[in-house]
Structures are given as C-alpha cells and as structure tokens.
Amino acid sequence: MEASFLVIDNLIKKYNDTNALDGVSLTINKGEVFALLGINGAGKTTLSSIIATQHPPTSGDIFFRGVSIYKDLRTYRMALGFCPQQPNLDTYLTVEQNLIFAGCFYAMSSDAAKARADLLLSLYDLGRYRNRKIEELSGGTRQRVLIARALMHSPELVILDEPTVGLDPDIRRQLWDHIAVLRDSGVTVILTTHYLDEAEVLADRICLLRDGKVQLVCSVTDLKNKHDQDSLEEIFIRLSRQEKEKELYESAA
C-alpha cells in the first residue's frame, strides 16, 4: 500500500512556559488544499513553519511518503515550496532574477530556470513586472511573486502562510484565483489563514487549531452538510458559542 503523503505525528513545540503546539497529529492527502485555521496565537504559524523545516519541533515527527523528514531533509526540501508570512524576496533583484535565482538554488540549469520563470511569470500574470525591482511592486503583486518563486523547482507540496493578510479585499480575491490555479495544477497546498471566507473558497479540508491543539479536522462540504449551513463563518460562530457554554457549564459544576 502506498504511504500517506504527509503524516504529522504528535508534534509538540515548547517556548519556555508556552506549548505553542501541544500534541498535533494530522494526515494531509496528496492534491488537497488543507487550511489551518484558528485565532491569533492558536499555533498555525508554528505548525506551518515546522512543516516547512524552518525549525524543529520539541518532540514528534513528520513523515513524507512514509519516511521521517528528519532522516532525509534534502529530499523533502526538494519536494517543498514555502511562502512565508513575511515576504523575503531579494529587493536588489528584479522579479525575473528572483525567480531564476531560486531555480538555481534548487540546482536547476540556468536555461531550465529561465524557461520555468517565463512560464510562471505568464501563469501568475507577472510578465509586465519581469524587469521591475521588488520595492516597486504592490503587496498583491509581491505575493504573486512569492508564490511563483516557491514553484520554481516544481514542488509537490506548497505551504502558504497567511498569503492575503493586509491586502485590500479585491486584491485578496484576485490572489484567490491564483491560488486556485495552483490547486488545479495538482499541487498539495497547506494554507494558513484566519480568514474563513478564504478557507471556504479554496480549501478541501480544514483544521481548526486552538491553544496548540487540533480542535476539528473536516472536509468543508461535510462540515456544511452536518451543520446545514452554507457559511463557514456561521458554523464557527455556533461552534464557539457551544464551546463557551460548555466552559461555563463545566466551571459551574
């Protein structure tokens, strides 16, 4: 039997007294958009940055196609593209140079990197910015460059950490179309967001984190059917009311 695409096994991350992650276990399937949701401080960035190998967990493991990523970080990193929350594009380079540089970093030949950059510039509607410096770009365009850069080495898994935070509503929606292009190309996407409308439009499954723990993992369709509701926002308001009532009931008992 083929091993699961990505298995997160009992991740714990401690910062002094804080358990940023408190025993998170999840399975992410190939080709899905998996959204990590939760209020600020829930643990979304900690989890996505550990999956992106930016830093190790305190304990626990992650298996990519059945092999611990910590046993073969190189293979895993070749399969991984990461768009961090803080854009870290090289401001001294043009858009095209940023892409080609990323391709060369992943050992692509300069011809292959140039060809791939051409394709991504066109796919992400960046052709007219090709020779612009990063400083000259708007926030939405920078995010598109970040996504294109993460795709230079044709990764199987892409992590997008809060890709639309701080953008105007219409720019956010345009970026959704570009994320949908990514989804439709068969790439597996882990999307960190605190916008429920974003998860509703883009995600196949959602994971709700709270205080570093998984509160809920569910397909968006199943969740809507179960609660007989079309809006994720309405469902989460109801769930949070139920949670508060339970806490009140338990504290009174």
Site residues for ligand ADP, 12-41, by CB under 6 A, read 15, 18, 20, 38, 40-41
- What is the smallest separation between the CB atom of 1 and ligand ADP, expressed in angstroms? 33
- Which of 5, 44, 188, 195 touches ligand ADP (CB under 6 A)? 44
- What is the smallest separation between the CB atom of 118 and ligand ADP, expressed in angstroms? 35
3-state helix, strand, coil split of the chain in percent (to 5) is: 45, 25, 30
Q: Which is nearer to ligand ADP, 43 or 163 (CB)?
A: 43
Sheet of 6-15: strand order equals 18-28, 6-15, 59-64, 67-68
Instruction: Confirm if 12 and 23 have CB atoms less than 8 A apart.
Output: yes
Q: Which is nearer to ligand ADP, 152 or 206 (CB)?
A: 206
Q: Which is nearer to ligand ADP, 8 or 151 (CB)?
A: 8
- Which of 5, 8, 22, 45 touches ligand ADP (CB under 6 A)? 45
* CA separation for the pair 212, 221 (Å, rounded): 25
Angle between helices 220-227 and 232-252 (to 10 degrees): 70
Q: Could you tell me how many residues of this chain bind ligand ADP (CB under 6 A)?
A: 11
Which DSSP string do the residues of 70-95 spell out, in sequence order? TT-HHHHHHTEEEE-SS----TTSBH
Q: Which is nearer to ligand ADP, 40 or 251 (CB)?
A: 40
Residues that bind ligand ADP (CB under 6 A): 15, 18, 20, 38, 40-46
